Amino acid sequence: MSVLRGLLFDKDGTLIDFDRTWGPAAYAVMQVLAEGDRPKLERLMAVSHYIEEERRFLPSSPLIAGSSAAYGPLWAAALGRLPGRAFFSEMDTLFRLEGLRALRPIGDPARIAEELAGMGYDLGIATNDAEASAKAQAEALGIGRFFRFVAGYDSGFGAKPNPGMITAFARSLGVEAARVAMIGDSAYDLIAARSAGAVAIAVLSGPLGDAARSELAPLADHVADSIAELPSLLRTIAAGKRA
């Protein structure tokens, strides 16, 4: 087994609390785009599988793992707008601003990132959010200095579950993908890892919590409750044991 060199993190559901961040943020974005038109707002919520009273998404929502380029056409249709780069860019800007206002981390990602960097790992982020949003949130969480590589769906490497971001991260380190671990809370993250030939580590800190275990475990090399377990897990992996 190759010695791991790089750790590539998904963002939403892995580093930040998806429901507590994007539940209120997405509602604010939908209100802006609906421009006070209640039927438009209701259409946006319907195609997003969004529960207004609880300010959260259903597990079936296309926003949980997809990029704005993926669900953007649904929003454009709900608003009577033309889908395309201009509209998706407008969405990304609104999501970046509102996401920062509502940003809530999972645990203490700055402490974990500092510990992992101290253990000698190179860290990166691979998200289906926009790159600018990912970088802004990383800085707001105080973790930006630990992540030498940040890629979003719009960074030119494709979006997960395609392996492009993982391959690009490995290339930036000058290593084979087998020496990189992808850490994430969705099947998209783990499928991307498998496709790239990287190690797949599932975390159960996403919207479904432990209920995601049955879906994620068959796709993962290792499963952890959250990134807080990574230092211990990585020592186990380095020792040649399976967690």
For the stretch 96-120, pLDDT in tens is 999 999 999 999 999 999 999 999 9
| Token reading at 56 | 């959260």
The predicted structure's pLDDT at residue 243: 47
Which domains, from first to last, does the chain contain?
Answer: 6-17+105-238 (3.40.50.1000), 18-102 (no CATH)
The predicted structure's pLDDT at residue 241: 53
* Dist. CA 172–CA 194, nearest whole Å: 19
* Dist. CA 46–CA 191, nearest whole Å: 28
* Dist. CA 186–CA 12, nearest whole Å: 10
| Token reading at 30 | 């939908």
Q: Please give the residue that has the higher pLDDT: either 90 or 1.
A: 90
Convert the pLDDT of each residue in 212-232 to its tens digit. 999 999 999 999 999 999 999
* Dist. CA 48–CA 163, nearest whole Å: 26
Per-position b or e across 174-209, b if 16+ CB within 10 A of its CB = ebebbbbbbbbbbbbbbbbbbbbbbbbbbbbbbbbe
Quick one: 218 exposed, middle or buried, by C-beta within 10 A (0-12, 13-18, 19+)? Answer: exposed
Convert the pLDDT of each residue in 17-65 to its tens digit. 999 999 999 999 999 999 999 999 999 999 999 999 999 999 999 998 8
